[in-house]
């Protein structure tokens, strides 16, 4: 693998291979010595044009556990705020000898531009671009589902027939987009539930069903309910009347949570708006995978960095 | 063109002899951990542990496991990306134990060098021994095996092809006269 830009371009075999490698990386996290020498002498640059704490430290932990050197670059207080272009920033990183670049950018497609422009030789990982994709989040979600469902026998398996309901702000969510493509590739049935104002204009090409009624979706006893964060920072219009109405109609409140079978996983990519899209009881229950998702994120990102930065340079 | 070198009976006899030699040098089966290097080393390790358990029915059978060395290799940026395999350590770990590493073919010795690094991150073994089914020569490191099934002087142009029933359907070792750039020991 040369870059990891979107889950849409991942084949089923590639996705399963990455998840299997993540299993090995998870085993390393349980040892006393949590470090591998694999990427010794390589440099990973975390290039963050948008605020993020958890994704950045997750990538940082992943790179450090593989013995890579990590340089953190955030747009705030850097030359970007002085008007430097992506091209000039990329060429600076190239000159510094970056082997891998983890990029988060507010513009959809920025990682693709960075990867295909020829400005830089490094492998590029998309850590979230605009409202487009966030592939490592989807991979860690799939990894978490697979582990909950199959435990130690997860290796080599996909998610065939697993019924996943994704609820919330699909319009702005790169997590939802990445999950739709990846979960469909892995054989899961994906159902999106959102207020009509928070569904993209045309979803006919998406391998997912779209509905507007959360109670109807939950009555189908899904295996997984994934609540998306209401992204206030991206909402520049009134998409729903007020947050109380949203919580009542599309939030996983106590009553809806109690009606779910105890086998249903409750997922959230974080950070959570407790009381808005998810009630505290659901978030803190044993059915919630929120903390596992964080731990698994490091394993999945280690697998991604390994696949990108090992192997002969120049192969696809 | 493939030339058969070891038959199923030869492999079985070699593993039985290696098992006896391990027991002899360790003076019994106590504190032994048999770790195979994926893929075929793991199967050989399991067979050796079973044989030792058969030879010494009164002692506790030695635990067998797997030690993946992929992430410790020195050629990760020289060849295509390798997929790591699971490492499975016995419950007691390796601290204070005599670890017998098992691999199918000993060639450059680079795999074993990586295995030392991998072992080092898992604990402190009391001693580390090496058992291989085939030693084909061409060492690039000062490493030798303690227990050898068969010494097979070979040309670097040849490829040693080890087949084991659990993976390949039958037991056999053959030499393929191809020009595989880096054959044998994976």
Say whether A33 and B79 touch across the interface (CB within 8 A). Answer: no
Do β-strands A189-193 and A209-211 pair in parallel, antiparallel, or remain unpaired? Answer: parallel
Q: In chain A, whose CA is at the least distance from the CA of B78?
A: A312
Classify domain A135-290 at the CATH topology level. Answer: Rossmann fold (3.40.50)
Interface test with B, best of A1, A42, A311 (most B CBs within 10 A): A311
For chains A and B, CB pairs below 8 A equal: 50
Rounded Cα–Cα distance for residues A168 and B129 (Å)? 58
Residue A60's contacts (CB-CB under 8 Å, 6 or more residues apart) are A46, A70, A72
Q: What does the pLDDT look like over B109-155, one tens digit per residue?
A: 999 999 999 999 999 999 999 999 999 999 999 999 999 999 999 99
Say whether B77 and A312 touch across the interface (CB within 8 A). Answer: yes
Residue B116 in any domain: the answer is yes
Residue B183 in any domain: the answer is no
Q: Which residues of B touch A36 (CB under 8 A)?
A: 71-72, 121
Q: Which pLDDT value is given to residue A76?
A: 75
Q: B130 - beta bridge partners?
A: B101
| 8 Å CB contact between A160 and A219 | no
Q: Which pLDDT value is given to residue A315?
A: 46
Option in A37, A66, A312 nearest B80 (CB): A312
Q: Which pLDDT value is given to residue B183?
A: 44
Sign of the four-CA dihedral B5, B7, B12, B17: negative
Return the closest-CA partner of residue B111 out of B102, B100, B120: B102
| 8 Å CB contact between A184 and A208 | yes
Q: Which residues of B touch A (CB under 8 A)?
A: 68, 71-72, 76-87, 117, 121-123
The alpha carbon of residue A60 and the mean position of all alpha carbons in its chain are separated, in whole angstroms, by 15
Q: How far is CA A286 from CA A141, A144, A214, A290, B39, in A?
A: 16, 14, 22, 10, 37
Class of domain A12-134+295-309: alpha beta
Binding site members of A for carbamoyl phosphate: 54-55, 104, 134, 137, 270-271
Question: Which tokens sit at A199?
Answer: 């569904």
Q: Where are the domains of chain A?
A: 12-134+295-309, 135-290
Please report, for the domain that includes residue B166, its CATH number: 3.40.50.2020
Residue B136 in any domain: the answer is yes
Spell out the alpha helix ranges (H) of A77-191.
86-96, 110-116, 135-150, 174-185
Centre a 10 Å sphere on the Cβ of residue B181 and count the other Cβ atoms it contains. 9
Query: DSSP letter string over B23-51?
Result: HHHHTSSTTEEEEEPTTHHHHHHHHHHHH
Rounded Cα–Cα distance for residues B23 and A64 (Å)? 42
Residue A236 Cα, gap to closest chain B Cα (Å): 45
Q: A306 - beta bridge partners?
A: none
Say whether B81 and A310 touch across the interface (CB within 8 A). Answer: yes
Instruction: Please tell me what DSSP assigns to residue A285.
Output: S
State the 10-residue block means of pLDDT for chain B, 186 residues long: 91 97 94 96 97 94 96 89 91 94 96 96 96 96 97 92 95 82 46
Residue B123 Cα, gap to closest chain A Cα (Å): 9
3-state secondary structure of A217: helix
Residue B66 in any domain: the answer is yes
DSSP E strands: which ranges in chain A? 43-48, 69-74, 100-105, 123-129, 163-167, 189-193, 209-211, 224-227, 265-267
Residue B90 Cα, gap to closest chain A Cα (Å): 13
| 8 Å CB contact between A164 and A224 | yes
The CA radius of gyration of chain A, in Å to the nearest whole number, is 19
Residues of chain A with pLDDT under 70: 77-79, 81, 313-316
Q: Specify the number of domains making up chain B.
A: 1
Give the residue numbers spanning the domain of B40. 2-72+86-176
Say whether A315 and B80 touch across the interface (CB within 8 A). Answer: yes
Q: Which pLDDT value is given to residue B112?
A: 97
Rounded Cα–Cα distance for residues A122 and B41 (Å)? 35
Nearest 5 degrees, angle CA A58-CA A63-CA A67?
145
Do β-strands B147-151 and B159-163 pair in parallel, antiparallel, or remain unpaired? Answer: unpaired
Within 109-138 of A, beta carbons closer than 8 Å to B belong to none
Percentage, residues of chain B above pLDDT 70: 95
Q: What does the pLDDT look like over A184-202, one tens digit per residue?
A: 999 999 999 999 999 999 9
Residue B182 in any domain: the answer is no
Do β-strands A189-193 and A123-129 pair in parallel, antiparallel, or remain unpaired? Answer: unpaired
Interface test with B, best of A306, A307, A309, A315 (most B CBs within 10 A): A306
Question: Which tokens sit at A160?
Answer: 């065939």
Question: Which tokens sit at B36?
Answer: 């195979």
Say whether B121 and A35 touch across the interface (CB within 8 A). Answer: yes
Query: In A3-23, which positions are buried (b, 16+ CB within 10 angstroms) versus exposed (e)?
Result: bbbbbeebeeeebbbbbbbbb
Q: In chain B, whose CA is at the least distance from the CA of A42?
A: B77
Residue B183 Cα, gap to closest chain A Cα (Å): 18
Query: In A163-180, which positions are buried (b, 16+ CB within 10 angstroms) versus exposed (e)?
Result: bbbbbbbbbbbbbbbbbb
């Amino acid at each position: 693998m040369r870059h990891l830009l979107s889950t849409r371009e991942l084949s089923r075999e590639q996705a399963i291979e990455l998840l299997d490698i993540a299993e090995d990386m998870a085993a390393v996290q349980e040892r006393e010595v949590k470090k591998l020498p694999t990427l010794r002498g390589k440099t990973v640059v975390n290039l963050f044009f948008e605020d993020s704490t958890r994704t950045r430290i997750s990538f940082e932990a992943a790179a450090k556990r593989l013995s890579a050197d990590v340089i953190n670059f955030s747009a705030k207080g850097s030359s970007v705020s002085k008007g430097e272009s992506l091209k000039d920033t990329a060429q600076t990183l190239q000159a510094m000898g970056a082997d891998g670049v983890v990029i988060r950018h507010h513009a959809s497609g920025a990682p693709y531009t960075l990867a295909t422009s020829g400005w830089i030789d490094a492998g590029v990982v998309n850590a979230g671009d605009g409202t487009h994709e966030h592939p490592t989040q989807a991979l860690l979600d799939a990894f978490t589902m697979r582990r909950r469902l199959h435990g130690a026998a997860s290796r080599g398996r996909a998610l065939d027939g697993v019924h996943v309901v994704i609820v919330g702000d699909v319009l702005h969510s790169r997590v939802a987009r990445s999950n739709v493509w990846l979960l469909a590739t892995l054989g899961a049935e994906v159902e999106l539930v959102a207020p009509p104002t928070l569904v993209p204009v045309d979803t006919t090409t998406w391998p997912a069903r779209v509905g507007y009624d959360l109670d109807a979706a939950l009555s189908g006893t899904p295996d997984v309910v994934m609540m998306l964060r209401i992204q206030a920072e991206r909402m520049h219009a009134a998409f729903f009347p007020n947050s109380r109405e949203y919580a009542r109609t599309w939030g996983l409140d106590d009553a809806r949570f109690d009606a779910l079978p105890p086998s249903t996983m409750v997922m959230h990519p974080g950070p959570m708006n407790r009381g808005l899209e998810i009630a505290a009881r659901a978030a803190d229950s044993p059915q919630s995978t929120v903390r596992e998702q964080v731990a698994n994120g490091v394993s999945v990102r280690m697998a991604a960095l390994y696949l990108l930065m090992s192997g002969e340079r120049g192969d696809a | 063109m493939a030339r058969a070198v070891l038959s199923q009976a030869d492999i079985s006899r070699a593993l039985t002899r290696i098992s006896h030699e391990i027991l002899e040098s360790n003076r019994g089966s106590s504190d032994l951990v048999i770790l195979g290097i994926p893929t075929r080393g793991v199967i050989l390790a399991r067979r050796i542990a079973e044989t030792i358990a058969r030879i010494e029915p009164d002692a506790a059978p030695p635990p067998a496991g797997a030690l993946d060395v992929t992430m410790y290799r020195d050629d990760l940026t020289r060849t295509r990306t390798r997929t790591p395999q699971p490492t499975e350590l016995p419950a007691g770990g390796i601290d204070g134990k005599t670890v017998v590493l098992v691999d199918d073919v000993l060639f450059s010795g680079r795999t074993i060098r990586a295995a030392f690094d991998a072992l080092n991150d898992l604990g402190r073994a009391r001693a580390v021994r090496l058992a291989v089914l085939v030693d084909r020569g061409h060492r690039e490191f000062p490493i030798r095996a303690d227990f050898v099934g068969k010494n097979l002087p070979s040309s670097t142009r040849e490829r040693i092809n080890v087949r084991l029933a659990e993976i390949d359907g039958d037991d056999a070792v053959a030499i393929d006269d191809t020009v595989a750039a880096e054959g044998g020991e994976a």
